[in-house]
Chain A
Amino acid sequence: MSKTRTEARDDSELSIGQILKERGVSRRDFLKFCSTVTAALALPPSFAPSVARALDEVKRPPLVWLEFQGCTGDSEALLRSANPTVAEIILDILSVDYHETIMAAAGHQAEAALDKTITDYKGKYFAVIEGSIPMKDGGVYGCVGGKSHLERARQVCGGAAATIAIGTCASYGGIPAAAPNPTGAVGVKEAVPGATVINLPGCPCNADNLTATIVHYLVFNKIPALDGHGRPLFAYGKRIHDNCERRPHFDAGQYVEHWGDEGHRKGYCLYKMGCKGPATFHNCPTQRYNEKTAWPIGSGHPCVGCAEPQFWDVMSPMYRRLPNVPGFGIEHTADAIGLGLAAGAAGAFVVHGALSAMRKDKEPGEDAKED
């Protein structure tokens, strides 16, 4: 990742097309990339030339990447995105001025670079936030360079052209925000309500969706259309269940009953193993990971719903259809409780009926109080 440069300013005047040419990315690879990203954006193939034209001419936007309360899984996913040119191109399109994990600079020097970028390019740079922001006790649970995450987020996201919350933690708080949420972790939009935030949840976020979001901004000069949870519709507009390659098995009524059973070996539907595909909006089935070769359900594991708000709490237990009921032991499913209630009601009425049968009640007559 030596390409991530703090001296990157030198070629910031060049267009992306020129930079790619200089770096030896062939025209063919560039056009392939444009087609891929057009598909990721759910645009018709006829848009690919427009994407290529726009990217040819556009100047690289400066980008700062802040790591807050998270596991760096999204950085890992980006750096390991193996699709031939995509990773390279992301880093070539963007002038990554600050990224804790991969930058060469350290200490005060690095912090100075960040301050310089957000001052010099106010309103023009992208901010990518990874990890949640702890709010409890004035945000003391996360600090870099003596500044709390909350303070940094307000400063950086407030002045950005757009903030991309990458991963579920930055989008909605994610695992740090799981009950009992000891640090008061929240997503970027909740911590900095005034910022323009695009949520790219997922654990990790698919790097293709990050590229596509940035390309969308560069090509159309506006952020992509978002859903009610702030996610781009091109990537989060459909449920996993509705694009799942195992959907025919669901409709047919063919389910994995136990790990490693015949159905599991034949690739049947994982619904009974607690798959959260019916409750999760993401383009995993079509976009996939690892050079588009694999994704959880394709590998025989149910979806855990990592891209949804309140993941982890509402999506656990991973291998059951329904959430646990608060206040009851984990082995008590909702239906066991319901059955108990119904049986209790039936029992009570059996007793009441027996008592009523033994009583000599007075039938309504002229002296009846009613009517």
Chain B
Amino acid sequence: MSDRCKFKQYVWELPLRWFHWINVLAIVLLSGTGFLIGHPVTLGSTPSDYAMGWIRLIHFVAAYAFTVSVASRVVWSFIGNEHASWRAFFPMFSAKGREKLRHMIRYYTLQTHQVPETVGHNPLATTAYFALFLVYLGMILTGFAMYATHAPGGVMFRSLGFMYSHFSLQGMRLAHHFGMWLIFGFVINHIYSAWLMDIKEHGGEISSMFSGYKFTVKKGE
């Protein structure tokens, strides 16, 4: 246990925290409704019920919210602070980043007892987030491509024309299911890592996503 005073640092700005929690809520809603769309349960008692209709409506509204949130996060990586910057997502392209990445991997694989201190994102996490954003992109493209088939010839259908010429709808459906499982795998990893670092770092890892503040040994730049 350290008896040292730590510096309070504002790391996560308000928009970034909003994007994070909108994504969380959207992923929960999308997965829940997605399960029911992929494996529906007979919920209607008469043909004039609208159970699947509402489930799909929630799925599509959450999908739009998620898409706007993810797109906003990408934009924010160009206007937010250094911790939110797109540069943080490519640690492997700088010597310092590679060094931090190596240390993080050594710590995770139990090869060192020294907990690495990171003020913003840790470099291993941002590498995973970059992969996660690619999965998001795949989910958004396959999702809206399947959605747009209700109105062939519409603006969305036509702008997603490249999807239809490269992939079959059944292939997209399969990829959409796998994408969800990849996101689940990520979420398990993410919650575990946040919990682990909260315990090991004593930096307020988990509460920082609510308050925006972290506690670090070194005074921030």
Residues of A within 8 A of B (CB): 227-229, 233, 237-239, 242, 248-255, 257, 263, 268, 271-272, 276, 278-279, 281, 305, 308-310, 314-315, 321-323, 325, 334-335, 337-339, 341-342, 345-346, 349, 352-353, 355-356, 359-366, 368-371
Selected A-B contacts with CB under 8 Å, 23 pairs: A238-B152, A239-B152, A250-B52, A252-B46, A252-B47, A253-B50, A254-B42, A276-B170, A278-B146, A278-B169, A279-B169, A281-B149, A281-B152, A305-B170, A315-B170, A322-B170, A323-B170, A323-B174, A334-B177, A338-B178, A353-B196, A365-B4, A370-B117
B173 near A346 with CB under 8 A, answer no
Q: Which 5 pairs, one residue from A and one from B, show the smallest C-beta to C-beta distance?
A: A338-B181, A253-B51, A364-B117, A252-B44, A253-B44
Q: Is B15 on the interface with A (CB-CB < 8 A)? A: no
Residues of B within 8 A of A (CB): 1-2, 4, 38-53, 55, 100, 103, 108, 110, 113-119, 146, 149-150, 152-153, 161, 164-165, 168-171, 173-174, 177-178, 180-182, 184-185, 188-189, 192, 195-196, 200-203, 216-218
- Given A342-B185, A371-B119: A279 in contact with B218 (beta carbons within 8 A): no
A154 to B27, CA, bound (A): 52
Of the residues B1, B181, B196, contact of A342 by C-beta under 8 Å: B181
- Given A251-B50, A253-B52, A314-B168: A369 in contact with B150 (beta carbons within 8 A): no
A335 near B177 with CB under 8 A, answer yes
A251 to B40, CA, bound (A): 11
Of the residues B1, B40, B174, contact of A363 by C-beta under 8 Å: B1
A17 to B51, CA, bound (A): 54
* Most chain A C-beta atoms within 10 Å of own C-beta, residue among B55, B103, B149, B195: B149
B55: chain A residues at CB < 8 Å are 253
B171 near A314 with CB under 8 A, answer yes
Minimum Cβ distance to chain B for residue A318 (Å): 12
A338 near B180 with CB under 8 A, answer yes
- Given A257-B42, A309-B168: A356 in contact with B150 (beta carbons within 8 A): no
Please name the residue on chain B nearest to A356 by beta carbon.
Answer: B196
B40 near A361 with CB under 8 A, answer no
Minimum Cβ distance to chain B for residue A312 (Å): 11
- Given A279-B173, A281-B152, A334-B178: A362 in contact with B192 (beta carbons within 8 A): no
A342 to B177, CA, bound (A): 13
Minimum Cβ distance to chain B for residue A215 (Å): 22
A308 to B146, CA, bound (A): 15
Minimum Cβ distance to chain B for residue A85 (Å): 32
A237 to B47, CA, bound (A): 26
B216: chain A residues at CB < 8 Å are 364, 371
A363 to B6, CA, bound (A): 12
A362: chain B residues at CB < 8 Å are 113-115
B173 near A364 with CB under 8 A, answer no
- Given A321-B38, A334-B178: A279 in contact with B115 (beta carbons within 8 A): no
A352 to B202, CA, bound (A): 19
A337: chain B residues at CB < 8 Å are 178, 181
- Given A248-B47, A252-B46, A252-B49: A335 in contact with B181 (beta carbons within 8 A): yes
Of the residues B46, B146, B200, B203, contact of A361 by C-beta under 8 Å: B200
Minimum Cβ distance to chain B for residue A337 (Å): 8
B201: chain A residues at CB < 8 Å are 363-364
Of the residues A272, A345, A364, contact of B116 by C-beta under 8 Å: A364
A342 near B168 with CB under 8 A, answer no
B218: chain A residues at CB < 8 Å are 368, 371
Of the residues B39, B100, B168, contact of A308 by C-beta under 8 Å: B168
A253 near B41 with CB under 8 A, answer yes
B200 near A370 with CB under 8 A, answer no
B181 near A341 with CB under 8 A, answer yes
B170: chain A residues at CB < 8 Å are 276, 279, 305, 314-315, 322-323
A322 to B168, CA, bound (A): 12
- Given A228-B164, A276-B170, A353-B192: A335 in contact with B152 (beta carbons within 8 A): no
Minimum Cβ distance to chain A for residue B18 (Å): 27
Please name the residue on chain A nearest to B41 by beta carbon.
Answer: A253
A363 near B200 with CB under 8 A, answer yes
Minimum Cβ distance to chain A for residue B66 (Å): 19
B4: chain A residues at CB < 8 Å are 365-366
Please name the residue on chain A nearest to B184 by beta carbon.
Answer: A342
A359 near B110 with CB under 8 A, answer yes
Of the residues B40, B48, B202, B217, contact of A271 by C-beta under 8 Å: B40
A342 to B185, CA, bound (A): 5
Of the residues B41, B47, B185, contact of A249 by C-beta under 8 Å: B47
Minimum Cβ distance to chain B for residue A94 (Å): 30
B192 near A352 with CB under 8 A, answer yes
A279: chain B residues at CB < 8 Å are 149, 168-170, 173
B192 near A349 with CB under 8 A, answer yes
B40 near A253 with CB under 8 A, answer yes
B217 near A366 with CB under 8 A, answer yes
With A335-B177, A365-B217, A368-B116 known, 11 other A-B pairs at CB within 8 A are A249-B44, A249-B47, A278-B146, A314-B171, A321-B39, A323-B173, A338-B178, A338-B184, A342-B185, A363-B2, A370-B103
